[in-house]
Chain A
Amino acid sequence: MLRKNTYNELLKIATKIRSYIGIGALTLLILIVLFAMKADGKSYVGFVTASFEQTLSFNGKILNGNLIAFIILQMLIVHVPLLIALVTGDLISGEEATGTVRMLATKPISRTGIVLSKWFAATIYTLIMTLWLGFLSLFVAKWMFGTGDLIVLNSEGLLVLPESELAWRFGLSLMIAFLALWTVATLSMAFSAFAKNSVGPIVSTMSVIILFTIIGTLDVSVFDSIKPFMFTTHMAAWRSVFEDPFPTSTIVESVVVLMLHILVLLGITLYRFNKKDITS
C-alpha cells in the first residue's frame, strides 16, 4: 500500500504545474549565471584574484567549468529551498485545501502510510532537484568552459584543489546539499500538517530559514549555544568539502544534526496528522 501510494504521490507531483516552476526557475537561474560568466567571467575572476596578483602568479585556465559550478552552487543553495518548499509545503495542506484529504483518509491506508508516502515522494522530488542542480552546474559548465583545477577563496586565503580530486568533492557536496534540502522539505511538510492551505507552510519555512540564518550570522555570544543545533548552520556544510585538510568531524557533525532534524520533523508530522480531526 505504501509503495502504491508513493507512486500516487509522485504522479500528483509530476502532473502539477507548480512542480515545474522550481525546475524551470533553477534552470533559468543557472543559464543566466552561465551566460554572465561566458560574457564577462574573466573580469569577475580578475576581481577576485586581483589582491593576490602581486604575490602569486596564476598559470592555466582559472575560469573553468569547476569554478563556475562552485560559484553556481554557492549562489543558488540559498534559493533552492524556496523552490523545494513550493512543492513539499503543499503536499498535506494542499489536500486539505481541496478536500481530497477526506477521500484519502477514508481509504484503508493508515494515516502514517499517507504521511510516509508523501515524504518519500518529497524525498524523490528533492533528489531530482539536487541532481538537476548538479547536472546543470557541473556538466553544462564543464561543457561550456572546459575543466581545470579549482581555486577556492576562503577565510584563510586561496586554496587550489587539483582537478583529480574534484569529482568526489563535488559528489559529496551534492550529497550534503541534498541532505540540507531534504531537511527543508521535511520542515515544510511538518508545517503543511498544521495548515489548511499551502501558502502558510511555504512562507513559514522561508521565515524559519531567514530567521535562523540571521541568528547564525549575528556575532553575539548569547546565540552561540544554540547555533550548533540550528539546521541552517549546517546547510552550508557542503562548502566544507572543498577545504584542505578535509574537515571530517565538521562534516560528520553536520550530517548527524541534519539527519536528527529530519527524524524529529517527520515525527512531528506523523504525530500531528495521526491526531488530526479531519473536519474540512
Chain B
Amino acid sequence: MALIQVLSLQKHFGAFQAVKDVSFHVNQGDVFGFLGPNGAGKSTTIRCLLSLITPSGGDIRFFGKSLRENRSEVLSRVGCIIEKPDFYKYLSAQRNLEIFARISGQQIPSKKIQEMLDFVGLTGREKDKVAGFSHGMKQRLGIAQTLLHNPDIVILDEPTTGLDPQGIIEVRNLILRLRDEQNKTVLLSSHQLSEIEIIANRMVIINQGRTVVEGEVQGLLAKQSLNLEITVEDPLKMEAVFSEKFPELTFRLLYPNTYHVELHTDQRKELIQHLVEGGSGVKAVIPKRSLEDFFIKMTEK
C-alpha cells in the first residue's frame, strides 16, 4: 500500500521553476531514498510534502488522502526533520520536546518524552539548554522530536548534512533503528548514493526538477558499474592476480598500495577471494559508487 503518492508535482518561485514534474510513491514499511544533486528540487519537494510550501501544480496524497484537504490529520501522522532541526536554544531539551508534544495532536505523557530522550541517547542531558548542544546532539534531539507522537511516516531531509563522521554514524544507526525497532516508513532525502545504498530498499532520483528513475535500490544499482578502493600489502601480487584472473578489469593506483578498480558486474566476492589466495595481503576493500556516474547512466537511457 502506498502511504505517500506524489503525482506530477510542480513548484515555481516567480519565473524560476524549482520542481517541474516529480512523481513517486512510498510504500508502507519502505525506507525510501530521495536522491538528487544539490539544486535538483529535493528540499522544495520535501517542503511541499510537509505543507511548508504550496505546490503550483500536481497532487500529494498521504494514506490515500489529499494533503491539501487533510493537512492536520496527515501531519499528526508524520514526523520530520528538515535539513537541521532548529530548537529554542534558550530552553532545555526536555522543555523543547514538551512544546512540540503539546501541538502534536496527541496526549503525550512526560514518560514518553523521557523514553524518546533515552532512545536517542540524550539521557542525562534533558535539563541542559539546547544552546550548548553540538550539531549531532541537536540532530538526535530532532529525531526524538520526530518520534514523540509515534508517527506512521518519518521524513528526514538531508539528516547527516554538516555532521562529523561520528555524528553521521550515530544518525545513520538511529535511522536503521527506526526501521528495525519502530517499524516506521521512512522517506530519506540525500545527495549521497552511498548513504541511500546502506539504508534504503527503494529510491527515486530527481534531477533538474524532474523524476529520473524510481525503483528498488539493489535492482537499480545492479545496472551500474561498481567501483572499489582496494588497499593491499603487496601491490605486485595484486597486479599479478588482476592480469591472470581479471584481465578485463581496469584499475589505477590512487595512493601507495591503494587502487581504484572498476567492476562491470558485482564480482566483489571472487575478486577478494583471489586476492587473498594470491597473497596480496588485502587490508581494505571500500565500495565506491558515484551518484554523478549513476545519473549519467540513467539519463543516457
Interface residues of A (CB under 8 A from B): 1, 4-5, 7-8, 11-12, 15-17, 98-100, 102-110, 275, 277-279
Contact = CB atoms under 8 A, between A and B. Distances in A.
A108 B86 contact: no
Given A8-B103, A279-B53, A109 B90 contact: no
Contact of B91 (A15, A99, A104, A109): A15
A108 B102 CA distance: 10
A99 B84 contact: yes
A277 B99 contact: no
Contact of A107 (B75, B89, B91): B75
A108 B51 contact: no
Contacts of B95: 11, 15
B142 to A, nearest CB: 9
B105 A277 contact: no
How many B residues touch the partner, as a band? 20 to 34
B82 interface: yes
Contacts of B45: none
A108 B103 contact: yes
Contact of B73 (A4, A103, A108, A278): A108
B75 A106 contact: yes
B53 A278 contact: yes
Given A5-B103, A15-B90, A277 B80 contact: no
Nearest to A106: B50
Contact of B100 (A1, A98, A107, A277): A107
B52 interface: yes
Contacts of A102: 52, 82, 86
B72 interface: yes
A107 B54 contact: no
A277 B91 CA distance: 27
Contacts of A107: 75, 100, 103-105
28 contacts: A8-B103, A12-B88, A15-B91, A98-B88, A100-B87, A103-B85, A103-B86, A103-B87, A103-B100, A105-B50, A105-B51, A106-B50, A106-B52, A106-B78, A107-B75, A107-B100, A107-B104, A108-B74, A108-B75, A108-B76, A108-B105, A109-B72, A109-B105, A277-B13, A277-B53, A277-B54, A278-B52, A278-B53
Given A100-B87, A108-B76, A279-B47, A8 B99 contact: yes
Interface of B: 13, 47, 50-54, 71-76, 78, 80, 82, 84-91, 95, 99-100, 102-105, 145
A106 B84 CA distance: 14
A104 B50 CA distance: 11
B103 A98 contact: no
B112 to A, nearest CB: 16
Given A99-B86, A109-B72, A279-B52, 17 more contacts: A4-B102, A8-B102, A12-B88, A12-B99, A100-B87, A100-B88, A102-B82, A103-B85, A103-B87, A103-B100, A106-B50, A106-B51, A106-B52, A108-B103, A277-B47, A278-B53, A279-B53
A110 B82 CA distance: 18
A16 B102 contact: no
Nearest to B11: A277
Contacts of A106: 50-52, 75, 78, 80, 82
A4 B101 CA distance: 10
B103 to A, nearest CB: 5
A277 B99 CA distance: 23
Contacts of B86: 98-100, 102-103
B102 A5 contact: yes
Contacts of A17: 90
